[in-house]
Amino acid sequence: MRHAPWMLSAALTVLAGCAPTTLSPMGIRMVPGSLDHVTARAGLRTGPRLTVPLQAPEDFEGNRAPFSSPQWSVAYDADLLIPVSANTRVHVGFQGEVGCDEIEATCPVPVPGYGLSMGLSHYFQLGDVSIAPAVILRGATDFGLGTVGGPGSMMGVEGSLSLAVHQDDTVLGVVPFLGVHRLIISDRTASATYGGLAFAGHFELGDGEFIELTAGAGRVDMRGVEPWWAPIFGIRGGP
């Protein structure tokens, strides 16, 4: 037990260590969801840290190394789909870092999550095909900490369109998306767009349980920075 304080300190440092990650697409909706109760989803997804090219240009490699940290990272992601009518859902989401492979500064308290999102989606069923447009507002911050890729905060809006084909307990589709974000980096501000396409699959496991997989890529455009592509991967599930 003598190593417990050191292990706890290391764990808290990892949780506190990164600038916000931009997860997209935010408004994925492959199935209608229940009208009687809230649908919960949680898992891991990847995305770019938009602040890195401006706050830590020495760590930014762009398309030369799209999987490099800290410009690209893995974050945990959870959301609730709250029914407001037969086909309309309110999305409420929460995102945070899994950790970093290097820490530039530490924090006395853990910051396990710092991203919030909220928006609406509407679901249309056309035979074996479904269409679900969504608009999501989001904000994220590392609270001004001197973290990897930070300090930085962002606010943005993203539109997406879930297009899917239904086959029994399997739903396969694509989700194009486009987001516009305002970055706040120390005493500076900048704008960035992040848009792309994700392939998505929704698989029913029985007893109301499901798993969703995503894979694709998105492009980041920012003034004064060479555009770069960020790989998209994700796995989420729910009861």
- The model's pLDDT over 82-124, given as tens digits with 9 standing for 90+, comes to 999 999 999 999 988 755 444 444 444 444 457 899 999 999 9
CATH class of 4-238: mainly beta
Residue 195: which pLDDT band, with cuts at 50, 70 and 90? very high
Sequence letter at residue 192 = A
- Is 2 a residue whose pLDDT tops 50? no
Which stretch of DSSP H or E encloses residue 5?
helix 4-15
Give the domain ranges of the chain. Answer: 4-238
Q: Give how far Cα 143 sits from Cα of 19, 20, 97, 128, Å.
A: 9, 10, 14, 45
- Give the separation between CA 202 and CA 210, rounded to whole angstroms: 7
Of 121, 109, 120, 80, the closest CA to residue 15 belongs to 109
Whole-number CA gyration radius for the chain: 18
Residue 164: which pLDDT band, with cuts at 50, 70 and 90? very high
Q: Are 194 and 48 in contact (CB under 8 A)?
A: yes
pLDDT of residue 16: 42
Number of neighbours of residue 11 by Cβ within 10 angstroms: 12
